[in-house]
């Protein structure tokens, strides 16, 4: 622990270099998520007023012809997925992947990721090789699906596409699941759930989220629940946004119109622990549950969807309850909300 100055807890000056690099990787990831898109837009606008305006024009042209890539499997780069930067990011928390059952590469899977948290740091288990996903699940190729909006942000879209993020549209899901051995990972709670991402809570937006079940049935993709312990501990909401408050009403209104929930959070800084956009060092343990096997149903009835959805909710709760004490969350109870 470092000393405090004016209420700010400073990081020790003699911090080992590898710890500094880990923090830098965590900071960079957070910065890209919160400000990467805005920075890129401002940069392109700035270039328009210089002799390098042609770079902006070339990029806009490229974007137009490449606009459907996020719905066509992205452009994953094995070099980037194996980058040392993600091993440093893994060790910062640290992040770990826990397998409870094998996944047959002759089948397809839809993995539900819970909770969303602020930015889903634990999804690095599925889009990088830092925790050995391909060794734990040989023959399975995973894709994490995110808001289409993120794939409209210049340059940032190139980065997330290269590590395996695609947009969470029906076309995207259908495209990926047409090939055996593929798994789509969906942060089912989405932006709405991020509003309830607070330490010591396990609020899961799932009661009325059934679209993923329908897509699983239509594509014959077995459902797999997963839970990342520690995801909600990385940041705290900077302002009180409890349900019913003015701030929450504004956030919900904005999210319903744009698809993205505006949130203000605080973590720690690079050289101090009291505030900032760097996530806190909290172990992230992603536990991947057993697959719920199903039969491909091109036109599932509402009854089919409801029954499978109920099975999924039970499986997720059982997964949480089975592992929560082991990872230090024995006092918490998972809560399904609308």
Confidence of residue 22 (pLDDT cuts 50, 70, 90): very high
List, in sequence order, every residue forming a beta bridge with 203; answer none if it has no partner: 335
Nearest to 28 by CA among 282, 264, 278: 278
How many C-beta atoms surround the C-beta of residue 127 within 10 A? Answer: 22
Confidence of residue 248 (pLDDT cuts 50, 70, 90): confident
- Looking at residues 153-171, what average pLDDT do you find? 92
d(C-alpha 92, C-alpha 314), whole Å: 33
Q: Is the pTM of this model over 0.75?
A: yes
- Looking at residues 160-169, what average pLDDT do you find? 92
State residue 96's pLDDT score.
97
- How far does CA 258 lie from the centroid of its chain? 18
Q: Tell me the C-alpha to C-alpha distance, in Å, between residue 193 and each of 58, 128, 246, 293.
A: 37, 24, 17, 27
Q: Where are the domains of the chain?
A: 4-337
Lowest mean pLDDT among 10-14, 47-51, 59-63, 77-81: 10-14
How many C-beta atoms surround the C-beta of residue 122 within 10 A? Answer: 27
Can the peptide bond before residue 146 be classed as cis, meaning omega within 30 degrees of 0?
Answer: no
Structure confidence by residue, pLDDT tens digits, 173-220: 999 999 999 999 999 998 889 888 889 889 999 999 999 999 999 999
Q: Are 165 and 29 in contact (CB under 8 A)?
A: no
- Looking at residues 98-123, what average pLDDT do you find? 96
Confidence of residue 109 (pLDDT cuts 50, 70, 90): very high
3-state secondary structure the chain: CCCEECCEEECCCCCCHHHHHHHHHHHHHHHHHHHHHHHHHHHHHHHCCCCCHHHHHHHHHHHHHCCCHHHCCCCCCHHHHCCHHHHHHHHHCCEEEEECCCCCCCCCEEEEEECCCCCCHHHHHHHCCCCCHHHHCCCCEEEEEECHHHHHCCCHHHHHHHCCEEECCHHHHHHHHCCCCEEEEEECCHHHHHCCCCCCCCEEECCCCCHHHHHHHHHCCEEEEEEEECHHHCCEECCCCCCCCHHHHHHHHHHHHHCCCCCCEECECCCECCCCCECCCCCEEEEECCCECCCCCCCCCHHHHHHHHHHHHHHHHHHHHHHCCCCCCCCCCCEEEC
State residue 12's pLDDT score.
82
* β-pair type (165-167, 4-5): unpaired
- Looking at residues 242-251, what average pLDDT do you find? 87
Q: Give per-residue burial for 264-292: e unless 16+ CB within 10 Å, then b.
A: ebbbbbebbbeebbbbbbbebbbbbbbbb
Confidence of residue 315 (pLDDT cuts 50, 70, 90): very high
Confidence of residue 318 (pLDDT cuts 50, 70, 90): very high
Confidence of residue 2 (pLDDT cuts 50, 70, 90): low
In the block, residue with structure tokens 């879209």? 157
Confidence of residue 1 (pLDDT cuts 50, 70, 90): low
């Amino acid at each position: 622990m470092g000393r405090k100055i004016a209420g700010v807890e400073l990081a020790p000056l003699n911090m080992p270099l590898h710890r500094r690099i880990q923090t830098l990787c965590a900071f960079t990831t957070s910065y890209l998520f919160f400000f990467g898109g805005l920075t890129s837009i401002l940069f392109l606008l700035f270039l328009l007023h210089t002799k390098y305006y042609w770079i902006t024009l070339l990029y806009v042209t490229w974007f137009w012809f490449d606009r459907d890539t996020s719905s066509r499997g992205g452009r994953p780069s094995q070099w980037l997925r194996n980058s040392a930067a993600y091993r440093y990011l893994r060790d910062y928390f640290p992040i770990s992947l826990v397998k409870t059952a094998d996944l047959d590469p002759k089948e397809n899977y839809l993995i539900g990721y819970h909770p969303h948290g602020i930015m889903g740091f634990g999804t690095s288990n599925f889009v990088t090789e830092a925790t050995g996903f391909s060794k734990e699940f040989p023959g399975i190729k995973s894709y994490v699906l995110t808001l289409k909006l993120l794939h409209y942000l210049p340059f940032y879209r190139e980065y997330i596409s290269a590590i395996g993020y695609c947009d969470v549209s029906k076309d995207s899901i259908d495209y990926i699941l047409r090939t055996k051995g593929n798994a789509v990972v969906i942060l089912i709670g989405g932006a709405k759930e991020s509003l309830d991402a607070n330490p010591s809570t396990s609020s899961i937006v799932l009661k009325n989220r059934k679209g993923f079940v329908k897509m699983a049935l239509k594509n014959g993709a077995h459902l797999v629940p997963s839970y990342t312990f520690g995801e909600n501990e990385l940041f705290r909401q900077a302002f009180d946004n409890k349900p019913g408050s003015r701030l929450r009403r504004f956030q919900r209104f904005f999210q319903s119109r744009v698809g993205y929930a505006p949130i203000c959070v605080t973590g720690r800084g690079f050289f101090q622990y009291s505030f900032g956009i760097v996530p806190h060092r909290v172990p992230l343990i992603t536990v991947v549950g057993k697959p719920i096997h199903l039969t491909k149903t091109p036109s599932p009835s509402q009854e089919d969807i409801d029954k499978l959805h109920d099975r999924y909710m039970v499986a997720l709760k059982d997964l949480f309850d089975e592992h929560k004490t082991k990872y230090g969350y024995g006092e918490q109870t998972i809560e399904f909300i609308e």
